[in-house]
Amino acid sequence: MRLRKSLVMLVYLLFVLVPIYWLVNMSFKSNREILGGLSLWPTAPTLDNYRVIFTEPTWYMSYLNSLSYVSMNMLISLLVALPAAYAFSRYRFLGDRHMFFWLLTNRMAPPAVFLLPFFQLYSAVGLFDTPIAVALAHCLFNVPLAVWILEGFMSSVPKEIDETAYIDGYTFPKFFIRIFLPMIRPGIGVTAFFCFMFSWVELLLARTLTSVDAKPIVAQMTRTVSASGIDWGVLAAAGVVALLPGIAVIYFVRNHVAKGFALGRV
């Protein structure tokens, strides 16, 4: 039985890691070598692809644009979702469950449903081709998910803690920031992780709502076709660099994510 489990885990790791290895392998090859045949490692390793990524403004600015709107989206989503989730977890009011379900229906809708309204609205108010436009558009999908996740964590905190803090003379902002938020840190970590994942990899809204100045990396990677064809080496190098922020986020919130999956509703 132990041998079978080890074999299953080995097959799974190979299935997951082989595409990543192949991406890294291609990033150190020239186009001629990539198209010339199949090889498990570069025969003539080159850093030219990475040099293009870090020296051409169209590439490195696209990374900065992505990092900017993803960071803004995570911050806005958490700032909006934390008080909303607290209200859903602590108070009962007319239509609370219906409103909670309505929030989730926004998350279930595909981004293409809201593409035209966002495009016309942002073009009219002058937000088209700006990072904040993509960040706000992604909030429509991340805020409901954040509220749903955080409400589950907040509901697990006894209400007696709130009452005790008020008896001790804490104001609500002081209690919420100094006592309540540290108790749900795993939930905040899980929420930030999922908000980052959606906003970093989402393509349709990010490509439609940007043009030149705020073009993100996911859009830039789809526009690598030139007169000589697709530059596969540069595209592979861009993919490798695009993995790094996700790896960094997972590393910093790994403990919170583990606790969140164990304790929360995720």
Tell whether the model's pLDDT for residue 136 goes beyond 90: yes
Provide DSSP, 186-252.
HHHHHHHHHHHHHHHH--HHHHHT-SSTT--HHHHTT--EETTEE-HHHHHHHHHHHHHHHHHHHHH
83 Cβ neighbours under 8 A, 6+ residues apart = none
In degrees, to the nearest 5, what angle opens at C-alpha 230 toward C-alphas 228 and 233? Answer: 115
Residue 122: per-residue pLDDT = 92
Residue 260: per-residue pLDDT = 63
Tell whether the model's pLDDT for residue 84 goes beyond 60: yes
Structure-block tokens of residue 130:
């700006």
pLDDT tens digits for 18-58?
A: 888 888 999 898 888 888 877 888 888 889 889 989 998 88
* Start and end residues for every CATH 1.10.3720.10 domain found in the chain: 56-261
pTM (2 d.p.): 0.84
pLDDT tens digits for 87-116?
A: 888 888 777 777 878 777 777 788 888 888
Classify 154 as helix, strand or coil.
helix
**Average pLDDT of 133-144?**
92
Give the CA dihedral 77, 132, 221, 212, nearest 10 degrees.
180
Weakest mean pLDDT among 85-89, 175-179, 194-198, 259-263? 259-263
pLDDT tens digits for 215-239?
A: 898 888 877 665 566 788 888 999 9
**Average pLDDT of 65-77?**
94
Provide DSSP, 115-129.
HHHHHHHHHHHT-TT
Question: Which CATH fold topology does 56-261 show?
Answer: MetI-like fold (1.10.3720)
Residue 180: per-residue pLDDT = 92
